[in-house]
């Protein structure tokens, strides 16, 4: 399985900057990581949200990635089981 960072769309000189993380769900079964996409000058040009959910029953793991530009338009969205 490819790493989620290989699936998103980054332009020349753009990189990810992690801005936060949290756990959600009644047992903290979902980890949510938030990233800004920044250009070479450090300006934010988009965002990426990664959710890594482990099912309480069966321990099935689902990863969801959503990437948006600065205006909020969807660039990439995909979910898969790990």
Looking at per-residue pLDDT, the higher value among 58 and 62 belongs to 62
pLDDT for 2 = 55
The CA dihedral of 16, 10, 3, 53, to the nearest 10 degrees, is: 60
Q: What angle do CA 68, 66, 35 make, to 5 degrees?
A: 75
Chain segment 15-33, per-residue pLDDT in tens: 999 999 999 998 999 999 9
Looking at per-residue pLDDT, the higher value among 39 and 57 belongs to 39
């Amino acid at each position: 399985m490819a790493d989620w960072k290989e699936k998103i769309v980054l332009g020349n000189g753009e990189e990810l900057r992690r801005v936060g993380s949290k756990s959600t769900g009644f047992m903290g079964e979902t980890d949510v990581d938030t990233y800004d996409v920044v250009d070479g000058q450090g300006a934010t040009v988009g965002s990426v949200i990664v959710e890594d959910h482990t099912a309480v029953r069966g321990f099935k793991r689902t990863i969801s990635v959503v990437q948006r530009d600065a205006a909020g338009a969807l660039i990439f969205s995909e979910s898969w089981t790990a």
